[in-house]
Amino acid sequence: MLKFILLCLFLSSCATPVIRQTTRTIRTQVKQGNYKQALKFVQAEKSYKEKKTRLLYHMEQGLIYHLMGHYQKSIGHLGQAKSIHQKLYTISLRKKLQTIITNETVDIYYGEVFERSLLHFYQALNHFSLYQRGSLLLPKGKEMMIKKLSQQQKRTHLLSSRAEVVSWDSFLDSQQESRRGKSIFKNDLLSKTFGAFIHEALNTPSENQIALQLYKDAKKILFRNYNSYKTYNLFSKKFKFDFKKLPRLGKKKVQKNYVNSTPFSEQLTKYLNFKILELTKKVRPLDMKNMIRVHQISKETVDKVASTPPSNVAFVIQRGIIPPKVPFKQHYSLQKALTPDNPTLEQRKWAKVGSFIIMAYAANELGLFPPANRYDPMGAEIGVRLADYSTSGLAISFELPKIQNEKIGEEISLEIYDKNKILAYKGPLSIVAPLGDIAEEAVAEYSAALYPKLGARLAMKHMAAIFASYITYQSLKESKNYNYFAKLAAVAQYMLVAKTIESSEKADTRYWSTLPSNIRIGNAYLKKGKYAAKIIFTKTINGQVQKRVSPLGLFTIDDDKKKKILNYRVH
């Protein structure tokens, strides 16, 4: 039995370092803008082609092709990723049973809810980009050729973009139902803000009505759900901790006691108010006064809507790269595993007879002592839900994944100049998808659910190793009467198994690693003509304001009556 466990542990540990190293390499290439090289690494890595990581294989390729401007190929890979994700709702029992003996990396990667949501975003953006560009990039030998799309084909991509937005909304509706009462990700600001612009692009009365409602919905989501993220709310931890009782308190009390808005939240609110009023002016002008009152829209925004034509250009800025997913050491009480809550009669008998002997042997002979300080497995992010599992008595250690997130500390603004180098537009870019925050919460939720299961599983393995070591110790001690050598052999035997367990139980750090750290959106009205755009990054360090400028290049507005999306990845 012990040999079987060692074999399973060895096999399960082999692929983990390879995947981690490949992920680091791909992320480095993407950060440097070497998209072709990043694509080669994904396609060459054998572990990505295995069934258990097939979802990541298509997600990574789909996003890299998107960044390269190969939207048709991106649509193909992300479409396969969506299909795989849908099938994975039916969980493989066989794979789940395997994880009782081996670790989570043996299991299929199912993807996080926010990753599935982003599949819809990139598909909608890909289709709109093809509609807008009006051509495909096709390989011709070592070169690429451009194939123009017909008007009908362009129209089809525009409608496909809209269909993806509708499908996106339907997916999120299903998640809200299953995740009700939790602060975790179940609705997406990006789906409302970006989806609204796609509906605006069709420019019919009904589509503009839908867009208006989506911007209103976005304001609700920002208050009700996204205040749990530190990017928007300085009281985000308190907001999450008391989330279940917030609906009973009323908006005013929640606003007063649980919300301390950041500049990013205020900036996004201002952007949404502008879009709500802009569309109200277009589709329901008689409601303008009421809308200003209900949404408490500032005079500055009212004047801006009154003095400028409706915005026709959306800037989508994919900023940086999502924070790394890293292993994080945890501890689990071996004593608790031996004497669980509400034990059965058999467990009571075992605990009474065997617990003291095993514990004493493990502590005194093998040196399994608890950590120096009492340890809360996931800290304040998980809180009291795991308090019962905090370390007491003898402890074993293992890894769980976490997102190494950092606070967003920079403001980003956009400047656009016409062909005469005269400033045509200047404005902020609002964060609509703080992916670092979203991923951090999603992985913390996963680790919280995994902690008791993984801890119990590891305790079982360690107890088997301790028991085998104990038998060896007693046998050598009694037959040879060599206490020192008996202890030495027993400890060596246990250490061999313990090291194998430790190497096998690496945290599952698989994820969609090439996503941006956040996505920002800005709208502007631009007349027909040629323009140059640049982004200004502003950060305050030790009281000193530092600025950095990143040119976005040239672009043309061919028709100021049509909606246009300008999409950039900036680092």
pLDDT for 91-116, tens place per residue? 544 455 445 445 666 678 889 999 99
Name the strand (E) or helix (H) holding 501.
Answer: helix 483-504
Please say whether the beta carbons of 571 and 31 come within 8 A: yes
Q: What is the mean pLDDT of the chain?
A: 84
Residue 365 pLDDT > 90, yes or no? Answer: no
Output the pLDDT for position 144: 76
Is residue 31 scored above 80 in pLDDT?
yes
Q: Which residue has the higher pLDDT, 420 or 12?
A: 420
- Which residue from 412, 426, 433, 431 is spatially nearest to 524, judged by alpha carbons? 426
Q: What is the pLDDT of residue 169?
A: 94
Locate the DSSP E strands across 273-324.
313-319
Question: For residue 186, what pLDDT band results from cuts at 50, 70 and 90?
Answer: confident
pLDDT category at 482 given cuts 50, 70, 90 is low
Tokens at residue 517, please?
């750290």
pLDDT at 290: 95
Residue 500 pLDDT class (50, 70, 90 cuts) = confident
Domain boundaries along the sequence of the chain:
17-157, 179-311, 326-404+444-504
Least confident of 19-28, 158-167, 230-239, 367-376: 367-376
Strand partners, 376: none
Strands 313-319 and 564-570: parallel
| Identity of the residue numbered 414 | L
Residue 7 has pLDDT above 90, yes or no: no
pTM: 0.87
Q: Which residue has the higher pLDDT, 490 or 296?
A: 296
Q: Find the angle CA(97)-CA(98)-CA(100) to the nearest 5 degrees.
A: 70
**Sequence-ordered list of residues with C-beta below 8 angstroms from that of 491, at least 6 positions apart, any chain:** 365, 366, 367, 469
Please indicate whether residue 9 or residue 544 has the higher confidence score (pLDDT): 544
Q: Taking every pair of C-alpha atoms in the chain, what is the biggest distance, in angstroms?
A: 98
Query: How confident is the model at residue 81, as a pLDDT?
Result: 96
Q: What is the mean pLDDT of residues 293-303?
A: 95
Name the most confidently modeled range: 49-53, 330-334, 477-481: 49-53
SS3 325: strand
pLDDT at 371 over 80: no
Stretch among 72-86, 179-193, 258-272, 306-320 having the lowest mean pLDDT: 179-193
Higher pLDDT, 423 or 482: 423
Determine the pLDDT at residue 62. Answer: 98
Q: Kindly provide the b/e burial profile for residues 330-349, where b requires at least 16 CB atoms within 10 angstroms of the residue's own CB.
A: bbbbbbbbbbeeeeeeeeee
pLDDT, mean of residues 252-261 = 95
Can you read off the two tokens belonging to residue 504? 């096998």
